[in-house]
Amino acid sequence: MAQSNATRRVVVTGLGVTAPLGTGVETFWPALKRGECGIGPIESFDTQDLYITIAGEIKDFDPRALGLSKPLLLADRYSQLAGWAAQEAVAQSGLTVPFEHGPRAAAIVGTGAGGLTTLERGYYDMYVLKKAATHPLTLLRTIGSSAAAHIGIEYGVKGPTFATMSACSTASHAIGLVFQMIRAGQVDLGIAGASEAVLTYGSMRSWQALRVLSDKGCYPFSRTRNGTVLAEGAGILVLESLDYAKARGATILAEVMGYGTTADAADMVNPDIEGASEAMRLALEDARLAPSDIDYVNAHGTATAVNDVNETDAIRRVFGKAAYDLAVSSTKSMHGHCLGAAGGVEAVIAVKAIEEDFVPPTIGYAEPDPRCDLDYTPNEGRAREVNYVLSNSFAFGGLNAVLVFGPPPA
């Protein structure tokens, strides 16, 4: 394997999540272990003439009750979701707020669509209600860097602060960038992940037109799958250099071992096996792990006909015979596809899988697909030793990001 330029090890000290199965890791993770489903009929807006009327909605998110700051209470929902997840992650990390070494901290928090809820409301006000102007905070609420800026302000982050925006790979790219910055010595700690809140009438009309959504549910790798299901959510990690975390006596949850990123450069919609497999190979190389070292793959697993076959083929290409010893699952079957936030939510799952030696299931798996022949942990999760997890994020445009997590350093 090629030698890494890494000089510092990077660890996870905080997790934060809000997703359709619950707000907060202590609610979300147990529901995931039980194989519960957070997908159901849309309740947050009038579905009118839509024929896709299901989604993964967060039903228990109350920004005031959760104690969000006044600036975040005035923000778009996507920033609020990110703000809560960051609040939970920072609290678990035990870091002093504001951060003691603000210039040595980063906040890279992305989104696939930004403040879409605010944007749609603004258009409705102007073109349907014929109002003379939109809300004065419309611009600040909609821009894709709002969540990162809010979080930076909340915690006194004075180092690199910006958003990534790469569709369904957004969060994994954000985590990978902070990982690389810490490893290279540019910063000592960082808040990383992404947030998405795109459950609006206009958004559903757009996704419905692309014909990739299911009207029944999200059933990855099953022969009965017929599309993905949109969801909202946020997943945030606090990352630190090992030395920085040890010096302050932090509890270390896991280690970020490797990161691989590629582009297919082929098609905006149809995935390419080359890009996906190379991203996995690079992540393993970066982690200095052999394919046989990986215990669990949290698959991108969108439940679309082409993507699931492509991902299975890519896993087989990279892992060879070891592919059939892996535990694989797509947790999107339970929490839906959180788009830009998916990799952040799934990074939280990867860390918890290591922490509790448990592989969550792929629910709704009704019938094997001969083209998808791996162990997808069908319908029920299982306890097994989990030391190393590989988490896949593959986005429209052929934008791929893969993360590898391992146990806390001894």
Residues classed as catalytic? 168, 300, 337
Beta strands in 67-125 (DSSP E): 105-110
CA atoms in the 13 A half-sphere facing the CB of 344: 45
Give the angle subtended at the CA of 208 by the CAs of 315 and 48, to the nearest 5°: 145
Place of tokens 């969000």: 68
Q: What's the rounded Cα separation, in Å, for the pair 270 and 49?
A: 28
Place of tokens 């609020």: 80
Cβ contact 313:273 at 8 Å = yes
3-state secondary structure 23-47: ECHHHHHHHHHCCCCCCEECCCCCC
Cα 190 to Cα 25, 114, 235: the distances in Å are 19, 21, 14
Q: List all residues 6 or more positions away from 362 whose beta carbon is below 8 Å from its beta carbon.
A: 220, 221, 222, 301, 328, 329, 330, 331, 333, 376, 377, 378, 379
3-state secondary structure 264-313: CCCCCCCCCHHHHHHHHHHHHHHHCCCHHHCCEEECCCCCCHHHHHHHHH
Q: Which amino acid is residue 11, in one-letter code?
A: V
